[in-house]
Homo-oligomer: A and B are copies of this chain.
Amino acid sequence: MSGSTFGELFRVTNFGESHGPAIGCVIDGCPPGLALSEADIQPDLDRRRPGTSRHVTQRNEADAVEILSGVFEGCTTGTPICLVIRNTDQRSKDYANLLDTFRTGHADYTYWRKYGHRDPRGGGRASARLTAPMVAAGAVARKWLRLAHGTTFLGWMSALGEIPIPFEDAAQIPLNPFFAPNAGIVPRLEAHMDALRKAGDSCGARIEVRAANMPVGLGEPLFDKLDADIAYAMMGINAVKGVEIGAGFGAVAQRGSEHGDELTPAGFASNHSGGVLGGISTGQDLVVSLAIKPTSSIRLPRRSIDRLGAPTVVETHGRHDPCVGIRAAPIAEAMLALVVMDHALRHRAQCGDVAHDVAPIAGAAPSVAPAGARGRE
């Protein structure tokens, strides 16, 4: 099928370009009866929104979402939910030269080679602005999962460039512009960013994201494993170059006697698996880590070519995030929620009537939401 749709049963079709009239998405397959209004979605969009600190792009977008369909009298009806966000602060009058030149590290060249015709304004379809509809759709999934299963999602920055950010306190995450779970390190992060901006350069970041209170049993073992779909979702976020589940690349140097999580009547004794065994959720927290590359748009001069193949030099002035990873935590949360939501429905479809003759281990949540279990907070 065409590529702009995410998910099989909770399906999100993303549309729009950075400087077009609007961006948005259509969510198809949302369960009916979920209380939903713009107020459920806007807070997540606001967390991702540009222009909120000096460390991110100064583009000023309200990112106000409008629900065009699928909700009646404050509840979802089960029909497609169209969410639209109007673009308001485009400054794209002068893009003629962008059409002719391929910016280094950007999708300009590949779009041109693929499609022959592209919208170059503000990065067009390849802009990180298109993560806003992902966040909006994720907010709907998050609400349903919270009400039906108690599942919650939390992302944070665990490294800014070469600076690791030790996890200290989740309560700090919303209190600084870096989504850092550590108040003490914030001044150092700010100094790092200020220096980068001054140098006209950019840096990468590492993001962690977790899901807690996970239903057991989600995932299709071959090929649509829960971890495979998480990897797809995360690698699909702009600028992501690596994805880990649980021990991740650390597992290479582990022994089996260390990595394998022992089971006890009280539950698992560790979580090297990151909450997935054989592609199916264990009920432990999902543990995911992402590598985000440094922003490609920098002020320093870079060699490139134009459409005629002639050499040229690109220096990017304008409004850009010197570290795109700074705003990535809410995006990663949203994408993880979309994966879990889709698999919750897929699991209910196939296994909604599975009954165990023996009690599962302590603390494991039911994997299928009971009738009438959600929709009212």
Contacts and interface: CB of A to CB of B under 8 A. Distances in A.
Nearest to A269: B303
Interface in A121-169: 121, 124-126, 130, 148, 159, 161-162
Point out which of A3, A125, A228, A249 has the most chain B C-beta atoms below 10 A from its C-beta.
A3
Nearest to A281: B110
A4 interface: yes
Point out which of A117, A261, A358 has the most chain B C-beta atoms below 10 A from its C-beta.
A117
Interface in A256-303: 256-265, 269, 272-274, 276-283, 291-298, 300, 302-303
Point out which of A75, A114, A118, A264 has the most chain B C-beta atoms below 10 A from its C-beta.
A114
Point out which of A111, A227, A311 has the most chain B C-beta atoms below 10 A from its C-beta.
A111
A256 B77 CA distance: 28
A115 B77 contact: yes
Interface in A193-250: 196, 201-206, 216-225, 227-236, 241-250
A317 interface: no
Interface string A335-357: 00000000001111111111110
Interface residues of A, number: 174
Contacts of A206: 249, 252
A55 interface: no
A335 to B, nearest CB: 9
Contact of A241 (B1, B23, B247, B265): B247
Contacts of A261: 104-105
Contact of A300 (B22, B243, B252, B257): B257
B352 A265 contact: no
B254 A293 contact: yes
Contacts of A297: 256
How many identical chains are in the complex? Answer: 4
B220 A264 contact: no
A244 B242 contact: yes
B80 A364 contact: no
A26 B5 CA distance: 10
Contact of A115 (B8, B202, B351): B351
Point out which of A2, A202, A362 has the most chain B C-beta atoms below 10 A from its C-beta.
A2
Interface in A345-377: 345-356, 358-362, 364, 367-374
A341 to B, nearest CB: 11
A36 B223 CA distance: 24
Nearest to A368: B352
Interface string A17-41: 1001111101011111100000000
Nearest to A103: B260
Interface stretch (A45-53, A64-72, A178-186): A64-72
Point out which of A31, A277, A351 has the most chain B C-beta atoms below 10 A from its C-beta.
A277
Contacts of A159: 252-253
A300 to B, nearest CB: 5
B22 A68 contact: yes
Contact of A361 (B22, B69, B279, B309): B309
A68 B15 contact: yes
Given A2-B10, A77-B125, A116-B354, 15 more contacts: A9-B346, A15-B69, A15-B79, A32-B117, A32-B354, A72-B119, A104-B260, A105-B256, A105-B259, A113-B216, A205-B252, A225-B236, A251-B293, A308-B358, A349-B349
